[in-house]
Amino acid sequence: MIRNFVRVNLVALGLLVGPATAEESFIVVQSTTSTQNSGLLDYILPGFEAETGIDVRVVAVGTGQAIRNAVNGDGDVLLVHSKQAEDQFVADGWGVERFDVMYNDFVLVGPKSDPAKVKGSTDIVAALTAVWDTQTPFASRGDDSGTHKAEMQHWQATGIDPTNASGEWYRETGSGMGATLNVASGMDAYVMTDRATWLSFGNRGNLEVLVERDPRLFNQYGVILVSPEKHPGVRSAAGQRFIDWLTGPDGQTAIESYKLDGQQLFFPNAK
């Protein structure tokens, strides 16, 4: 085993042969923590891999970093959730075309004691205003991720700039969703999270879902093939195959059938 490993590495180091050949036995997908941490990808990918023999390697980071990595060409497919940034990515020529894949939704989670009295509300903007009024701790991703961008949009709608209270009741973790949930759980803070990560999150402490089902909380995912014109190394054939599968009947059915605790997490809506 170790000998094999050594040989593989020598090959990879280019000591025995040249650069790896582009036979496209795998693709790299730049995606977000929400798709991975929720378990969705672990659930649907084996189907695609069995059908095509193409191994899907997922790098799960924030949407912002995923897009930057894709701009650098370090991925063949981009699967993220920030429509505006995705459209910009395609408009700038880094991506071929954007396709809707599915949506999930965000929820506002907070301590059971609920100092801002927002439980049961379906108005995210009013709820954030109440949090601001009571100066209750609020944990924000603060990492330019899709979730962070969505959160900032809702704050914008309240007319409040919470970053003025940065370091006081408004805490920017600069970390992923899970890490931010851990922080919120540790200090009984409000936090906006995607439902999928929340449901699969194991360390909830005193937190529970307080605000949900506001249509403004819907969270659209899109998939884009990284431009082979910008980066000739992109495995475009295999990447396109993955996109076709994901937005086709097989992928959409797989997404629909994924449930956690009996709840459907992602709602396919490819056109």
Partner 1 sequence: MQSFASEFNQAITLIFLGDSELWAIVLLSLQVSIFAVLISALIGMPVGAALAVARFPGRRVLIVLMNALMGFPPVVVGLLVYLTLSRSGPLGVLELLYTPTAMIIAQVVLVTPIVAALTRQVVEMLAEEYSEQLRSLGVSRLASVPVLLWDARIALVTALLAGFGRAIAEVGAVIIVGGNINHVTRVMTTTIALETSKGNLALALALGAILIGIAVAVNAMVSALSLRAEEEGLRHA
Contacts 24+ apart (CB under 8 A), 129-136: 129/158, 129/160, 131/190, 132/158, 132/160, 132/162, 135/165, 135/168, 135/169, 136/110, 136/169, 136/189, 136/190
Nearer Cβ to partner 1 (55/123): 55
2 near partner 1, rule: CB under 8 A: yes
Nearer Cβ to partner 1 (12/187): 12
Site string for partner 1, 165-204 (x = CB under 8 A): ----------xxxxx-xx--x-----------x--xxxxx
Inter-residue contact 62 to 176 (CB < 8 Å): yes
Two tokens at 128? 């954030």
- Read off φ and ψ for residue 5, nearest 5 degrees: -60, -45
Nearer Cβ to partner 1 (136/182): 182
Binding-site member from 7, 25, 51, 72 for partner 1 (CB under 8 A): 72
Burial 205-216 (b: 16+ CB within 10 A, else e): eebeebbbebee
60 near partner 1, rule: CB under 8 A: yes
By CB under 8 A, what part of segment 95-114 binds partner 1?
none
Per CB under 8 A, residues contacting partner 1 are 1-2, 5-6, 8-9, 12-14, 19-20, 28, 33, 37, 42, 57-60, 69, 71-74, 175-179, 181-182, 185, 197, 200-206, 231, 233-234
